[in-house]
């Protein structure tokens, strides 16, 4: 018998293509527990709590919840708000008024920090509120997790995008540069390397925020690849920075936009345009193309990892089970089991292990050159991509002997 009868669940931060799996996991698991009468969903995260914008998820059919689970982006809406003490008092007023005993927040490290603040506030006010964080982020930058829900599907999108971009670049050779999301962690950019399935395949160069970006070294690596392959495919994190930690994207910007968490906005095509311009001017190359992958990498409807779907569902389910059975607040983590067969566990970890902290790529995942990944990274990522990842077919290309040019 649960110690509470009403759960409130919300979704915060940037959406993913599996964040609704976690929502469905919460709503469907709650139905199995005696005593849980209702699951409310707050619209647009913590802002919806303050505004009492609640929907009753108990009135949604299992069929609807399954359809929503398979749909990208936060079905309840999201927010970038980060509550301070006053904001939290407004949250409590609302939770108390509606008799909520369990608060579940699906989000990244900013959202986990929100859960931590709300949980502390609840304790300070002696309000019985079970507070659990359910992880999600395509950046894969949460501490205490092997990986985070949303990352495997975004990684799969990036791998399939670079497979196609590399085949395109093979057919019309030149330089192709793709800018991938990732402010501080290069995991998603590094996922582009799973596009390589044959000798000479790109991406040939990988730039992540974990290594200082140097223009001269960059240009000489591009030139070396052009000399070797006659073409060069490059994956770059939006967050690459120089040795002084100045983001390359902001070096030539006239106006720097910040979100409510103080994060510099790295969107737009400026970084790709800056880098391709440098390559054209400094190396004298003509066919140089730059793309910025933008929102499609976190929201495209039709590219998902089934492993990611299952795990995103599982962390939602487990949050309800921990809330019912336990007496601890925390975050439901994904921890990989040791051994050759892929499997994960979902321990509950302390919110302070996650909140406000950022995990970056371990050194063992980054090649000594600083512009590639290691086999260890590829071994780490491969099982996360799920079933039926496409593999390019290739002609064997039996050359016909030349006659005129013999």
Tell me how far apart the alpha carbons of residues 18 and 176 are, in angstroms, rounded to a whole number.
29
Residue number, 148 or 305, with CB nearest to its own copies? 305
Q: What are phi and psi of 43, to 5 degrees?
A: -80, 130
192 interacts with its own copies by CB under 8 A: no
Rg of the Cα atoms in the chain: 23
Catalytic residue among 110, 139, 329, 372: 139
| Residues comprising the chain, all counted | 406
Our finding on whether 5 is near its own copies (CB under 8 A) is no
Give all strands (DSSP E) within 140-287, no chain letters: 175-180, 205-207, 232-237
Minimum distance from residue 210 beta carbon to its own copies (Å): 25
Our CB check for its own copies shows the closer of 97 and 199 to be 97
For residue 203, say if its preceding peptide bond is cis, omega within 30 degrees of 0.
yes
Please report how close the Cβ of residue 200 comes to its own copies at its closest, in angstroms.
13
CB 276 to its own copies: min, Å: 7
Q: Which stretch binds its own copies (CB under 8 A): 113-121, 317-325, 362-370, 397-405?
A: 397-405
Beta carbons within 8 Å of 358's beta carbon, 6+ residues apart? 109, 141, 143, 184, 185
Catalytic (active site) residue 113 = no
164, 145, 150: which is closest to 304 by C-alpha? 150
- The residue range among 29-37, 243-251, 293-301, 359-367 that interacts with its own copies, by the rule CB under 8 A, is 293-301
Which residues 149-178 are close enough to bind its own copies by CB under 8 A? Answer: 160-161, 163-165, 167-168, 170-172, 176, 178
55: its two tokens: 């929907």
Count interface residues toward its own copies (CB under 8 A). Answer: 85
Residues 92-121 interacting with its own copies (rule: CB under 8 A):
93-94, 97-98
- Binding of residue 70 to its own copies (CB under 8 A): yes
Indicate whether 238 belongs to the interface with its own copies (CB under 8 A).
no
Counting contacts by CB under 8 A, is residue 219 touching its own copies? no
What is the dihedral angle through the alpha carbons of 255, 257, 258, 264, rounded to the nearest 10 degrees?
Answer: -80
CA gap 309, 104 in Å, rounded: 19
Among 5, 299, 352, 374, binds its own copies (CB under 8 A): 299
Residues with a known catalytic role? 139
């Amino acid at each position: 018998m649960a110690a509470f009868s009403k759960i409130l669940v919300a979704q915060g931060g940037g959406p993913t293509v599996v964040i609704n799996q976690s929502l469905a996991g919460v709503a469907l698991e709650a139905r199995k527990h005696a005593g849980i009468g209702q699951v409310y969903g707050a619209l647009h995260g913590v802002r919806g709590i303050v505004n009492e914008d609640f929907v009753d998820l108990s009135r949604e059919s299992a069929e609807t919840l399954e359809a929503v689970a398979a749909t990208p982006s936060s079905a309840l809406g999201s927010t970038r708000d980060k509550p301070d003490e006053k904001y939290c008092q407004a949250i409590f007023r609302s939770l108390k008024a509606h008799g909520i005993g369990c608060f579940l927040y699906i989000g990244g490290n900013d959202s986990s920090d929100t859960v931590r603040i709300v949980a502390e506030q609840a304790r300070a006010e002696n309000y019985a509120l079970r507070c659990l964080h359910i992880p999600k982020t395509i950046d894969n930058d949460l501490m205490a997790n092997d990986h985070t829900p949303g990352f495997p599907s975004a990684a799969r999108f990036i791998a399939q995008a670079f497979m196609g971009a590399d085949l395109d670049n093979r057919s019309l050779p030149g330089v192709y540069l793709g800018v991938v999301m990732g402010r501080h962690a290069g995991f998603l950019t590094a996922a582009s390397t799973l596009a390589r399935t044959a000798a000479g395949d790109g991406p040939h160069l990988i730039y992540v925020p974990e290594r200082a970006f140097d223009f001269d070294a960059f240009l000489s690596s591009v030139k070396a690849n052009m000399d070797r392959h006659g073409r060069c495919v490059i994956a770059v994190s939006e967050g690459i920075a120089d040795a002084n930690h100045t983001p390359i994207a902001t070096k030539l910007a006239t106006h720097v936009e910040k979100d409510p968490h103080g994060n510099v906005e790295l969107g737009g095509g400026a970084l790709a345009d800056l880098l391709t311009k440098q390559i054209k001017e400094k190396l004298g190359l003509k066919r140089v193309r730059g793309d910025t992958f933008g929102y499609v990498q976190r929201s495209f409807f039709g590219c998902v990892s089934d492993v990611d779907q299952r795990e995103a569902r599982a962390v939602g389910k487990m949050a309800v089970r921990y809330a019912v059975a336990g007496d601890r607040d925390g975050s439901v983590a994904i921890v990989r089991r040791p051994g050759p067969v892929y499997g994960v566990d979902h321990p509950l970890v302390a919110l302070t292990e996650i909140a406000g902290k950022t995990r970056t790529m371990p050194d063992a995942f980054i090649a000594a050159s600083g512009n590639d990944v290691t086999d260890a990274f590829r071994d780490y990522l491969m099982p996360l991509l799920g079933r039926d990842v496409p593999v390019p077919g290739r002609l064997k290309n039996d050359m016909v002997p030349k006659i005129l040019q013999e």
